[in-house]
Structure 1
Protein backbone atom coordinates (compact mmCIF):
# COMPACT_ATOMS: atom_id res chain seq x y z
CA UNK A 1 0.00 0.00 0.00
CA UNK A 2 1.24 3.47 -0.84
CA UNK A 3 2.15 6.14 1.68
CA UNK A 4 -0.30 9.02 1.58
CA UNK A 5 -0.05 12.51 3.07
CA UNK A 6 -3.15 14.20 4.41
CA UNK A 7 -3.43 17.79 5.61
CA UNK A 8 -5.82 19.52 7.99
CA UNK A 9 -5.89 23.28 8.41
CA UNK A 10 -6.59 25.25 11.57
CA UNK A 11 -6.81 28.90 12.55
CA UNK A 12 -6.41 30.76 15.83
CA UNK A 13 -5.77 34.26 17.13
CA UNK A 14 -2.71 34.83 19.29
CA UNK A 15 -0.88 37.84 20.65
CA UNK A 16 2.84 38.03 21.38
CA UNK A 17 5.81 40.33 21.79
CA UNK A 18 9.43 39.75 20.80
CA UNK A 19 11.63 40.95 23.61
CA UNK A 20 14.88 42.51 22.43
CA UNK A 21 13.73 42.76 18.82
CA UNK A 22 14.79 45.90 16.92
CA UNK A 23 11.50 46.53 15.13
CA UNK A 24 7.78 46.98 15.69
CA UNK A 25 7.30 43.39 16.84
CA UNK A 26 8.89 44.26 20.19
CA UNK A 27 5.43 45.67 20.98
CA UNK A 28 2.56 43.44 22.04
CA UNK A 29 0.52 42.64 18.94
CA UNK A 30 -1.45 39.77 17.47
CA UNK A 31 -1.91 37.61 14.41
CA UNK A 32 -4.60 35.49 12.82
CA UNK A 33 -2.50 32.35 12.51
CA UNK A 34 -3.22 29.58 10.03
CA UNK A 35 -1.69 26.19 10.76
CA UNK A 36 -1.51 23.40 8.18
CA UNK A 37 -0.72 19.98 9.66
CA UNK A 38 0.36 17.23 7.27
CA UNK A 39 0.78 13.63 8.39
CA UNK A 40 1.92 10.62 6.39
CA UNK A 41 1.00 6.97 6.61
CA UNK A 42 -0.55 4.06 4.78
CA UNK A 43 -4.34 3.89 4.49
CA UNK A 44 -5.89 1.25 6.75
CA UNK A 45 -6.27 -1.90 4.65
CA UNK A 46 -8.36 -3.94 7.09
CA UNK A 47 -11.83 -4.04 5.52
CA UNK A 48 -13.42 -4.73 8.92
CA UNK A 49 -12.01 -1.52 10.40
CA UNK A 50 -14.54 1.33 10.42
CA UNK A 51 -11.74 3.63 9.25
CA UNK A 52 -10.86 1.40 6.30
CA UNK A 53 -9.12 3.42 3.57
CA UNK A 54 -8.10 6.28 5.88
CA UNK A 55 -4.57 7.21 6.91
CA UNK A 56 -6.09 8.84 9.99
CA UNK A 57 -9.61 10.11 10.50
CA UNK A 58 -9.57 13.88 10.01
CA UNK A 59 -11.62 14.18 13.21
CA UNK A 60 -8.91 12.31 15.16
CA UNK A 61 -6.22 14.62 13.80
CA UNK A 62 -8.44 17.62 14.59
CA UNK A 63 -8.84 16.46 18.19
CA UNK A 64 -5.07 16.21 18.69
CA UNK A 65 -4.26 19.61 17.18
CA UNK A 66 -7.19 21.32 18.85
CA UNK A 67 -6.23 20.04 22.31
CA UNK A 68 -2.48 20.60 21.96
CA UNK A 69 -2.39 23.85 19.97
CA UNK A 70 -5.63 25.64 19.11
CA UNK A 71 -7.33 25.47 22.51
CA UNK A 72 -4.08 26.50 24.21
CA UNK A 73 -2.94 29.31 21.94
CA UNK A 74 -6.24 30.76 20.71
CA UNK A 75 -6.84 34.21 22.19
CA UNK A 76 -3.76 33.89 24.40
CA UNK A 77 -0.81 36.23 24.66
CA UNK A 78 2.56 34.47 24.46
CA UNK A 79 5.71 35.74 26.14
CA UNK A 80 9.17 34.28 26.60
CA UNK A 81 9.28 33.41 30.30
CA UNK A 82 12.92 34.60 30.50
CA UNK A 83 12.23 38.23 29.57
CA UNK A 84 11.03 41.32 31.42
CA UNK A 85 7.65 40.76 29.76
CA UNK A 86 7.05 38.43 32.70
CA UNK A 87 5.97 41.45 34.75
CA UNK A 88 3.44 42.42 32.09
CA UNK A 89 2.32 38.78 31.88
CA UNK A 90 1.67 38.68 35.63
CA UNK A 91 -0.37 41.88 35.43
CA UNK A 92 -2.44 40.47 32.56
CA UNK A 93 -2.98 37.17 34.38
CA UNK A 94 -4.16 39.05 37.46
CA UNK A 95 -6.72 40.71 35.19
CA UNK A 96 -7.92 37.27 34.04
CA UNK A 97 -6.18 37.30 30.64
CA UNK A 98 -4.99 34.09 29.00
CA UNK A 99 -1.18 34.32 29.09
CA UNK A 100 1.32 31.66 28.03
CA UNK A 101 4.90 31.79 29.24
CA UNK A 102 7.11 29.70 26.99
CA UNK A 103 10.82 28.89 27.13
CA UNK A 104 11.51 30.34 23.67
CA UNK A 105 11.18 33.59 21.74
CA UNK A 106 7.58 33.36 20.40
CA UNK A 107 8.41 33.73 16.72
CA UNK A 108 6.62 31.67 14.08
CA UNK A 109 9.82 29.66 13.67
CA UNK A 110 10.03 28.70 17.33
CA UNK A 111 6.29 28.17 17.69
CA UNK A 112 6.24 25.69 14.80
CA UNK A 113 9.06 23.70 16.45
CA UNK A 114 7.07 23.62 19.69
CA UNK A 115 3.92 22.57 17.85
CA UNK A 116 5.74 19.74 16.06
CA UNK A 117 6.94 18.28 19.37
CA UNK A 118 3.46 18.41 20.87
CA UNK A 119 1.69 16.89 17.88
CA UNK A 120 4.26 14.11 17.34
CA UNK A 121 3.74 12.86 20.91
CA UNK A 122 0.03 12.33 20.28
CA UNK A 123 0.01 10.66 16.87
CA UNK A 124 -0.67 6.91 16.58
CA UNK A 125 2.45 4.77 16.01
CA UNK A 126 1.69 4.12 12.34
CA UNK A 127 1.30 7.85 11.53
CA UNK A 128 4.20 10.30 11.22
CA UNK A 129 4.12 14.06 11.25
CA UNK A 130 5.32 15.08 7.81
CA UNK A 131 5.20 18.88 7.98
CA UNK A 132 3.71 21.98 9.55
CA UNK A 133 3.14 25.38 8.00
CA UNK A 134 2.39 28.26 10.35
CA UNK A 135 1.19 31.39 8.58
CA UNK A 136 1.55 34.56 10.61
CA UNK A 137 0.16 36.75 7.81
CA UNK A 138 -0.99 36.04 4.26
CA UNK A 139 2.57 36.53 3.01
CA UNK A 140 4.72 35.31 5.93
CA UNK A 141 5.04 31.78 7.27
CA UNK A 142 7.37 29.25 8.86
CA UNK A 143 7.55 25.61 7.79
CA UNK A 144 8.77 22.51 9.62
CA UNK A 145 9.51 19.25 7.79
CA UNK A 146 10.25 15.96 9.53
CA UNK A 147 12.91 14.96 7.01
CA UNK A 148 14.86 18.14 7.83
CA UNK A 149 14.94 17.13 11.49
CA UNK A 150 16.07 13.51 11.45
Structure 2
Protein backbone atom coordinates (compact mmCIF):
# COMPACT_ATOMS: atom_id res chain seq x y z
CA UNK A 1 0.00 0.00 0.00
CA UNK A 2 1.78 3.12 -1.28
CA UNK A 3 0.43 6.53 -0.34
CA UNK A 4 1.30 9.42 -2.65
CA UNK A 5 0.69 13.13 -2.17
CA UNK A 6 -0.22 15.40 -5.08
CA UNK A 7 0.01 19.18 -4.88
CA UNK A 8 -1.49 21.78 -7.21
CA UNK A 9 -0.90 25.53 -7.02
CA UNK A 10 -3.61 28.17 -7.60
CA UNK A 11 -3.51 31.98 -7.84
CA UNK A 12 -6.24 34.55 -7.26
CA UNK A 13 -6.59 38.24 -6.42
CA UNK A 14 -8.97 39.19 -3.62
CA UNK A 15 -9.79 42.23 -1.50
CA UNK A 16 -10.96 42.18 2.08
CA UNK A 17 -11.15 44.30 5.22
CA UNK A 18 -10.84 43.12 8.80
CA UNK A 19 -13.61 44.52 10.96
CA UNK A 20 -12.54 45.77 14.39
CA UNK A 21 -8.85 45.14 13.62
CA UNK A 22 -6.38 47.53 15.26
CA UNK A 23 -4.11 48.01 12.24
CA UNK A 24 -4.11 49.03 8.59
CA UNK A 25 -5.91 45.86 7.48
CA UNK A 26 -9.16 47.32 8.84
CA UNK A 27 -9.26 49.18 5.51
CA UNK A 28 -10.26 47.53 2.24
CA UNK A 29 -7.11 46.21 0.60
CA UNK A 30 -6.13 43.38 -1.71
CA UNK A 31 -3.73 40.47 -1.92
CA UNK A 32 -2.34 38.21 -4.59
CA UNK A 33 -3.14 34.87 -2.94
CA UNK A 34 -1.34 31.64 -3.72
CA UNK A 35 -3.06 28.45 -2.60
CA UNK A 36 -1.30 25.07 -2.49
CA UNK A 37 -3.66 22.10 -2.29
CA UNK A 38 -2.21 18.70 -1.37
CA UNK A 39 -4.23 15.50 -1.54
CA UNK A 40 -3.15 11.99 -0.56
CA UNK A 41 -4.17 8.54 -1.72
CA UNK A 42 -3.07 5.38 -3.45
CA UNK A 43 -2.45 5.30 -7.19
CA UNK A 44 -5.25 3.54 -9.08
CA UNK A 45 -4.33 -0.12 -9.67
CA UNK A 46 -7.07 -0.96 -12.18
CA UNK A 47 -5.35 -1.29 -15.57
CA UNK A 48 -8.71 -0.86 -17.33
CA UNK A 49 -9.43 2.45 -15.59
CA UNK A 50 -8.45 5.59 -17.56
CA UNK A 51 -7.01 6.95 -14.29
CA UNK A 52 -4.70 3.93 -13.92
CA UNK A 53 -1.56 4.89 -11.99
CA UNK A 54 -3.08 8.16 -10.68
CA UNK A 55 -4.06 9.14 -7.15
CA UNK A 56 -6.26 11.76 -8.78
CA UNK A 57 -6.31 13.47 -12.14
CA UNK A 58 -4.71 16.93 -11.73
CA UNK A 59 -7.46 18.24 -14.02
CA UNK A 60 -10.14 16.99 -11.62
CA UNK A 61 -8.40 18.64 -8.67
CA UNK A 62 -8.11 21.85 -10.67
CA UNK A 63 -11.83 21.78 -11.50
CA UNK A 64 -12.81 21.27 -7.85
CA UNK A 65 -10.61 24.05 -6.47
CA UNK A 66 -11.53 26.47 -9.23
CA UNK A 67 -15.27 25.88 -8.79
CA UNK A 68 -15.22 25.98 -5.00
CA UNK A 69 -12.71 28.78 -4.42
CA UNK A 70 -10.83 30.50 -7.23
CA UNK A 71 -13.69 31.24 -9.63
CA UNK A 72 -15.76 32.67 -6.78
CA UNK A 73 -13.12 34.73 -4.97
CA UNK A 74 -10.89 35.97 -7.78
CA UNK A 75 -11.26 39.76 -7.97
CA UNK A 76 -13.93 39.74 -5.26
CA UNK A 77 -14.40 41.75 -2.08
CA UNK A 78 -14.87 39.71 1.11
CA UNK A 79 -16.20 41.17 4.36
CA UNK A 80 -17.38 39.71 7.66
CA UNK A 81 -21.09 39.78 8.42
CA UNK A 82 -20.07 41.44 11.71
CA UNK A 83 -19.03 44.56 9.79
CA UNK A 84 -21.31 47.34 11.04
CA UNK A 85 -23.64 49.15 8.66
CA UNK A 86 -23.11 46.72 5.78
CA UNK A 87 -26.45 47.70 4.24
CA UNK A 88 -25.44 51.38 4.22
CA UNK A 89 -22.24 50.60 2.33
CA UNK A 90 -24.37 49.76 -0.71
CA UNK A 91 -21.91 47.06 -1.74
CA UNK A 92 -24.08 45.61 -4.55
CA UNK A 93 -24.01 48.96 -6.37
CA UNK A 94 -20.27 49.35 -5.95
CA UNK A 95 -19.04 45.80 -6.52
CA UNK A 96 -20.14 42.99 -8.81
CA UNK A 97 -18.25 40.30 -6.94
CA UNK A 98 -18.52 40.32 -3.18
CA UNK A 99 -19.06 37.87 -0.36
CA UNK A 100 -20.22 38.41 3.18
CA UNK A 101 -18.81 35.64 5.39
CA UNK A 102 -19.93 34.42 8.81
CA UNK A 103 -16.29 34.80 9.90
CA UNK A 104 -13.54 37.43 9.88
CA UNK A 105 -11.88 36.96 6.44
CA UNK A 106 -8.38 36.35 7.76
CA UNK A 107 -5.99 33.96 6.06
CA UNK A 108 -6.53 31.55 8.98
CA UNK A 109 -10.32 31.51 8.73
CA UNK A 110 -10.35 31.37 4.94
CA UNK A 111 -8.06 28.34 4.81
CA UNK A 112 -10.33 26.45 7.24
CA UNK A 113 -13.33 27.31 5.05
CA UNK A 114 -11.43 26.20 1.93
CA UNK A 115 -10.61 22.86 3.55
CA UNK A 116 -14.29 22.16 4.21
CA UNK A 117 -15.25 23.08 0.65
CA UNK A 118 -12.57 20.92 -0.94
CA UNK A 119 -13.09 17.88 1.32
CA UNK A 120 -16.78 17.75 0.40
CA UNK A 121 -15.93 17.43 -3.32
CA UNK A 122 -13.03 14.96 -3.32
CA UNK A 123 -13.51 11.37 -4.47
CA UNK A 124 -13.96 8.89 -1.61
CA UNK A 125 -10.55 7.30 -2.11
CA UNK A 126 -8.69 10.64 -1.99
CA UNK A 127 -8.16 12.71 1.15
CA UNK A 128 -7.17 16.31 1.64
CA UNK A 129 -3.72 16.26 3.24
CA UNK A 130 -2.92 19.96 3.57
CA UNK A 131 -3.48 23.49 2.36
CA UNK A 132 -1.08 26.41 2.32
CA UNK A 133 -2.46 29.89 1.63
CA UNK A 134 0.01 32.70 0.97
CA UNK A 135 -1.50 36.12 1.62
CA UNK A 136 1.80 37.84 0.81
CA UNK A 137 5.17 36.58 -0.35
CA UNK A 138 6.29 36.14 3.26
CA UNK A 139 3.04 35.45 5.15
CA UNK A 140 0.91 32.32 4.94
CA UNK A 141 -1.40 30.00 6.86
CA UNK A 142 -1.29 26.21 6.77
CA UNK A 143 -3.99 23.60 7.38
CA UNK A 144 -3.20 19.91 7.94
CA UNK A 145 -5.77 17.12 8.11
CA UNK A 146 -3.74 15.44 10.85
CA UNK A 147 -4.23 18.51 13.06
CA UNK A 148 -7.99 18.40 12.55
CA UNK A 149 -8.94 14.81 13.37
TM-score interval, smaller chain: over 0.9
Q: Distance in 1 between matches of 2:66 and 2:45?
A: 27
Q: Under a length normalisation based on structure 1, what TM-score does the superposition of the two structures give? A: 0.96
Q: Distance in 1 between matches of 2:19 and 2:111?
A: 18
CA contact (8 A) 1:43 1:52 kept: yes
Displacement, 1:27?
0.3
Map of 1:94 onto structure 2: 93
- Inter-CA distance 74–85: structure 2 relative to 1 (3 Å threshold): farther
Map of 1:72 onto structure 2: 72
- In structure 2, the gaps of 5 or more residues are none
CA contact (8 A) 2:35 2:132 kept: yes
Q: Under a length normalisation based on structure 2, what TM-score does the superposition of the two structures give? A: 0.96
- Inter-CA distance 96–140: structure 2 relative to 1 (3 Å threshold): closer
- In structure 1, the gaps of 5 or more residues are none
Q: Distance in 1 between matches of 2:140 and 2:119?
A: 20
Secondary structure at 1:147 match in 2: helix
Secondary structure at 2:120 match in 1: helix
Q: How many residues align?
A: 149
Map 1:27-106 onto structure 2 (within 5 A): 27-84=27-84, 86-87=86-87, 91-106=90-105
CA contact (8 A) 1:80 1:106 kept: yes
Displacement, 1:69?
0.2
Q: Distance in 2 between matches of 1:33 and 1:25?
A: 15
